């Protein structure tokens, strides 16, 4: 893992400095509360000021995060968080852009955007709160749902092979691929810090239990473990490891050195009226 940042040390900023006055309406015990805290802790440890950060999301329980932060925020449309975040980062490269959402948002309707965001390697950090279900719409199977998950909506299970987000991110060109667990505040905060600091597209899958529609995910606490191998920069080694793991190894599993996409535009210096003139011609 990257050099660790001492998140217990007093910094000029406090995680609470990044919270808005909007109170989360997640179910008690939802993993997303922890992820919100871990994101704010990472921003405090990096001493970013709220106006230096934009948090962009799609739609879903997990996609509510921008509303709970006082950074710039964009609560977009379902599955379209990554194109929004990509456009924003290209237009305003000085901003730290964090994209957040769920497995349905990011891998189902947004799956195509996921591939191309990895491929483009724009310097954004994508945090997916993976609960292997559509929480907001009341418990449909998602791309990461295991095939034998028996539920009212999928009696007997889906029988469909789950989407493998980490290996797909790696194969598509993501520069940083990690897995975290919402109930591991220190580890998740460190991974988010490392993802923000690493240039290019950083993908972080955070296992974040949906206690309402997947109460059995409370057991994840006993299943997760730090990955028994160090971070690798070799994509073939990373691919082999990720393909063969059981989905519970935590840590930065791949950290590459592809240069981040650099736009030729310096759009941030362009005034809004100049920009609108361009659309008129």
Ligand X SMILES: Cc1ncc(C[n+]2csc(CCOP(=O)(O)OP(=O)(O)O)c2C)c(N)n1
Name the β-bridge partners of 55: 73, 98
CA–CA dist 48, 272 (Å, integer) = 26
Query: Using CB under 6 A, which of the segments 99-107, 173-181, 222-230, 249-257 binds ligand X?
Result: 99-107
Q: How many residues does the chain have?
A: 281
Tell me which residue of 154, 145, 42, 26 sits closest to 98, measured CA to CA: 42
8 Å CB contact between 78 and 105: yes
Is 27 a binding residue for ligand SF4 by CB under 6 A? The answer is yes
CA–CA dist 233, 110 (Å, integer) = 27
Angle in degrees, 0-180, between the axes of helices 111-120 and 165-172, rounded to the nearest 10: 40
Query: Using CB under 6 A, which of the segments 41-49, 104-112, 115-123, 149-157 binds ligand X?
Result: 104-112
CA–CA dist 171, 169 (Å, integer) = 6
Query: Using CB under 6 A, which of the segments 10-18, 56-64, 192-200, 246-254 binds ligand X?
Result: 56-64
Binding residue (CB under 6 A) for ligand X from 61, 127, 192, 207 = 61
Binding residue (CB under 6 A) for ligand SF4 from 66, 93, 106, 135 = 135
Which residues make Cβ contacts (< 8 Å) with residue 58, sequence separation at least 6? 76, 77, 78, 79, 80, 81, 101, 102, 105, 106, 110
If the CB atoms of residues 78 and 113 are measured against ligand X, the closer one turns out to be 78
If the CB atoms of residues 35 and 122 are measured against ligand X, the closer one turns out to be 35
In three-state secondary structure terms, 181 is strand
Binding residue (CB under 6 A) for ligand SF4 from 11, 140, 154, 212 = 212
If the CB atoms of residues 30 and 36 are measured against ligand SF4, the closer one turns out to be 30
Query: Using CB under 6 A, which of the segments 50-58, 89-97, 140-148, 209-217 binds ligand SF4?
Result: 209-217
Span 194-253, contacts to ligand X by CB under 6 A: 210
Query: Using CB under 6 A, which of the segments 97-105, 153-161, 173-181, 234-242 binds ligand X?
Result: 97-105
Binding residue (CB under 6 A) for ligand X from 15, 31, 93, 104 = 104
What is the longest distance spanned by two Cα atoms in the chain? 60
- CA geometry: angle 262, 112, 141, nearest 5 deg: 135
Give the nearest residue (CB) to ligand X: 102
Tell me which residue of 215, 125, 134 sits closest to 176, measured CA to CA: 125
Is 39 a binding residue for ligand X by CB under 6 A? The answer is no
8 Å CB contact between 163 and 111: yes
What character string, x for contact with ligand X (CB under 6 A) and - otherwise, covers 140-159?
--x-----------------
Tell me which residue of 210, 253, 203, 207 sits closest to 98, measured CA to CA: 203
Strand pairing of 225-226 and 72-75?
unpaired
Binding residue (CB under 6 A) for ligand SF4 from 213, 220, 254, 261 = 213
Binding residue (CB under 6 A) for ligand X from 103, 121, 145, 162 = 103
Is 105 a binding residue for ligand SF4 by CB under 6 A? The answer is no
Chain residues in the site for ligand SF4 (CB under 6 A)? 26-27, 30, 32, 61, 131, 135-136, 210-213
Q: Which residues are at the interface with ligand X (CB under 6 A)? A: 59-62, 78, 101-105, 109, 129, 131, 133-137, 142, 210
């Amino acid at each position: 893992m990257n050099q660790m940042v001492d998140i217990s040390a007093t910094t000029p900023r406090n995680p609470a400095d990044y919270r808005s006055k909007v109170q989360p309406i997640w179910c008690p015990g939802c993993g997303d509360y922890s992820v919100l805290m871990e994101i704010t802790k990472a921003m405090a440890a990096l001493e970013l000021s709220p106006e230096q950060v934009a948090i962009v999301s799609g739609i879903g329980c997990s996609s509510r995060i921008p509303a709970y932060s006082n950074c710039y925020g964009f609560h977009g449309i379902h599955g379209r968080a990554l194109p929004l975040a990509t456009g924003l980062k290209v237009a305003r490269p000085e901003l730290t852009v964090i994209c957040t959402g769920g497995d349905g948002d990011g891998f189902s309707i947004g799956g195509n955007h996921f591939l191309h965001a990895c491929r483009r390697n724009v310097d954004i950090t994508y945090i997916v709160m993976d609960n292997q279900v559509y929480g907001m719409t009341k418990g449909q199977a998602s791309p990461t749902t295991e095939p034998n998950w028996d539920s009212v909506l999928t009696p007997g299970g889906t029988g469909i092979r789950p989407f493998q987000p980490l290996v797909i991110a790696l194969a598509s060109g993501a520069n940083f691929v990690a897995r975290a667990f919402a109930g591991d505040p220190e580890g998740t905060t460190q991974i988010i810090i490392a993802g923000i600091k690493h240039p290019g597209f950083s993908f972080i899958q955070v296992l974040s239990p949906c206690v309402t529609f997947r109460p059995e995910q409370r057991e994840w606490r006993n299943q997760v473990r730090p990955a028994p191998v160090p971070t690798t920069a070799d994509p073939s080694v990373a691919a082999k490891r990720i393909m063969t793991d059981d989905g519970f190894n935590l840590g930065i599993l791949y950290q590459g050195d592809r240069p981040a996409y650099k736009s030729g535009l310096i759009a941030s210096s362009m005034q809004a009226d100049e920009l609108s003139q361009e659309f008129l011609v």
